[in-house]
Amino acid sequence: MKIRQVITGQTGLSRTDRVAALCYACNLTTEQVYSNLDAQIDDGDLAVLEACLKDRMSGKPLAYITGKREFFSETFMVNESVLIPRPETEILIEEALRQLNGRKGCAILDMGCGSGAIGAIMAKETGNRVTCVDISYEAVGVARKNAEAVGVGSLMEFVCSDLFEAFKPDIRFDMILANLPYVTHEEWKSLMTDVRDFEPRLALYGGEDGLDVYRRLTASMPGRLVPGGDILLEIGSGRQAEELKAVLEKTGLSIRVINDYAMRERVLAGHG
């Protein structure tokens, strides 16, 4: 079979998916795929490709099939133990970098780290030490591998914990970042199959209104930020932003709501 036949074939998949599958199975770049349309796919690569297309047809996300996802110009390992990093989370990182403004010697916490993408980028971009925390032992293992792959393993610490449960009371941070579960009960029922059936529910589902885990986090926040510290939370709606903003302001933080590129409330940025 030729590359051209795969791209134009009626597989029920988008061309983007088919090209990505070709890149993975044949170890090619997108440019190489399109510049070699009449090249024959050898038997070994064809077997991998067919398995890849079959998995994608079942709804399995391409990132889990290939085991990797591009995020903030880095390539991260992903599997079904961790949420696939999404473009909107880059807004959280961009705002965090703005608020740090080049400061060194800061202790940063990536709470609910999943793949560790947020923490690894923060360590690489700032040179500051980052602690990654997740309730899932498997997720912590993925985050550790990603830190090494990005080249920041020496700057990062990994803790398997339910929020601050494993931390001593006097441990504080200059910045706390969190992308915790915030999908509501109604949203969960209408999620796309490739999300609901394959990505970890533990990393997505936030209860009836999506704020179950965030309420627990904010309740445990007092004393966890140094004076003048920052907290940034990714959320999914204006209603969630309004409720969490009110809770955090009661702790003495000044809060801003930052929209994503679709003008949806996406990040709460708090400063002590």
Q: Check if the beta carbon of residue 89 is closer than 8 Å to that of residue 120.
A: no
Q: Which CATH architecture fits 79-271?
A: 3-Layer(aba) Sandwich (3.40)
Percent of the chain with pLDDT strictly greater than 90: 96
Q: Check if the beta carbon of residue 62 is closer than 8 Å to that of residue 17.
A: yes
Q: Check if the beta carbon of residue 116 is closer than 8 Å to that of residue 81.
A: no
The residue type at 25 = A
Distance separating alpha carbons of residues 82 and 77, to the nearest angstrom = 10
Distance separating alpha carbons of residues 82 and 18, to the nearest angstrom = 24
DSSP 9-48: S--SS-HHHHHHHHHHHHT--HHHHHH-TTPBPPHHHHHH
The residue type at 214 = Y
197-252 tens-digit pLDDT: 999 999 999 999 999 999 999 999 999 999 999 999 999 999 999 999 999 999 89
DSSP 45-101: HHHHHHHHHHHHHTT--HHHHHTEEEETTEEEE--TTSPPP-TTHHHHHHHHHHHHT
pLDDT of 11 strictly over 80:
no
pLDDT value at residue 241: 96
Instruction: Kindly list the distances between the CA atom of residue 250 and the CA atoms of 164, 207, 212, 222, 272, in Å, as whole numbers in the listed order.
Output: 20, 23, 18, 11, 11
Does the model's pTM come out above 0.75? yes
pLDDT of 102 strictly over 70:
yes
Distance separating alpha carbons of residues 95 and 93, to the nearest angstrom = 5
256-271 tens-digit pLDDT: 999 999 999 999 999 9
- Quick one: average pLDDT of 194-199? 96
pLDDT value at residue 10: 65
pLDDT value at residue 9: 79
pLDDT value at residue 12: 85
SS3 for 186? helix
